Structure 1
Amino acid sequence: MDGHLDGRLDGTLVARMREYLAAGTAMDLAALEALYDEEFENVRTDEAGRVAVLTKAHFMARFRALAARGEGVADGGTDDVRFLSAGRHGDQGTVVMYRCEDGVPARYVFVWRREDGRWTTLLREFTFERDVSPLLALLAAATTGGGAGGAAAEG
């Protein structure tokens, strides 16, 4: 169910989000490459206040590694996704999304770029998690040459 406090959602923005979710579920690497802006960042925070920042390169490396192993993300599908808010702010739009993954409620905020009258690329994703320390350790290992830069991203 999609909802908004005043009952309005930008339908074009919700449709673009659904395209993004479908591309991730299908592991459509070409579509994901086109959907993530070159400036994309995923900012993940946790209960202890730690912050991990993942780039487009991190995400795409992770997607390519999963695809090479015949694996994917969102194996449970996206039927549980609810859009709580979707609105335009000048040349950007924000989507607040809720879902329950493995019994754990999760909320996300996505920021989209708008150009020439359409939603083009995903600029930012903000995610709250219980603990990002394993992700921070993987990112640190990747930057010191201990692994692939995208090994940490979970998409």
Structure 2
Amino acid sequence: MDQPLVERVLDWLSAGLAGDTAALDAACAPDFESIRCDEAGRVVKLTRQELLSGPHAPKRCAGERTGEIHLLATSEYDGHEVALVRRAQQGTAVLHTFVWRAERGQRRMLLREFLYGESVVDGPLRNQQRPE
């Protein structure tokens, strides 16, 4: 596995649990999106600004750690790095796919965060889809 990519993913998850929006903001590309899907097939897409402010902004989770994390795979293709992660969140499994821009000599920026899990779609839904 790509150890520098693993470190970035762990830093991202830790910053989210710490409510460190400055660290999250520094890692995000300007066109970053977080796309979340739950078991009912509902989908919510959050822009960088929506993730970092308002009701979706990460808040410090007292007593909660990043939990059990399993880095399943990393890969690199066409200037992008991808990490697949499975972790426990509030007792349930959450699957993450992180897509980072990986340009030589450039700062690596997080482009997309895809989440799938029971409780990852919360609050008002902007985009909603149901299974057919």
TM (norm. structure 2) is 0.79
1:51 aligned onto 2:38: no
Q: Deviations over 1:10-43 (max 9, x none)?
A: 1111011122223223333322111111111111
Work out which of the residue numbers 3, 10, 17 in structure 1 matches 2:2.
10
* Aligned twin of 2:108: 120
* Partner deviation per Cα, 1:34-76 (whole Å, 9 max, x = no partner): 111111111112223221111111111048966xxxx514841
1:41 and 1:123 in contact (8 A); partners too: yes
Instruction: Write the letter of the residue equivalent to 1:89.
Output: Y
Percent same amino acid at aligned positions?
A: 34
Residue in structure 2 matched with residue 76 of structure 1 by the alignment: 64
What is the CA–CA distance in structure 1 between the aligned matches of 2:97 and 2:83, rounded to whole Å? 6
Letter in 2 for 1:61: S
Distance across 2 between alignment mates of 1:58 and 1:100:
24
Residue ranges of structure 1 left out of the alignment (5+ in a row): 1-8, 141-155
Which of the numbers 64, 83, 86 marks the counterpart of 1:98?
A: 86
Structure 2 gap ranges (5+): 127-132
Amino acid at match of 2:60: G
1:39 aligns with 2:31: yes
The structure that is helix-richer by fraction is 1
Aligned length: 126
114-123 or 100-109, which deviates more: 114-123
Distance in 1 between residues matched to 2:115 and 2:93, nearest whole Å: 12
Q: Distance in 2 between matches of 1:29 and 1:133?
A: 19
Counterpart among 19, 34, 37 of residue 11 in structure 2: 19
Residue identity opposite 1:13 in structure 2: L
TM (norm. structure 1) is 0.68
Question: Which residue number in structure 1 is paired with residue 129 of structure 2?
Answer: none
CA distance in 2, matches of 1:10, 1:53: 28
Structure 1 residue aligned with 2:22: 30
